[in-house]
Amino acid sequence: MLNFMTPGSGAIKPLSPETHRAWTRRVSQAGCLVEPWRCDLSSGAFMIGSKTAALLGLRRNPCGIIDLVRAYDRGDRSTILNILEQATESSSSFCFSTTVRGATGHPSPLYCIGNSTLTDEGAEGSLEGVFALPETEKTNA
Query: Rounded CA gap, 90 and 105, in Å?
Result: 36
Q: Which residue has the higher pLDDT, 134 or 34?
A: 34
**CB-based contact 94:86 (threshold 8 Å):** yes
pLDDT of residue 1: 45
Query: Rounded CA gap, 82 and 61, in Å?
Result: 23
Q: What is the mean pLDDT of residues 29-51?
A: 91
Quote the pTM value.
Answer: 0.82
**Is the pLDDT reported for residue 129 higher than 90?**
yes
101 bridge partner residues: 107
The pLDDT tens digits of the residues spanning 4-15 come to 566 667 887 887
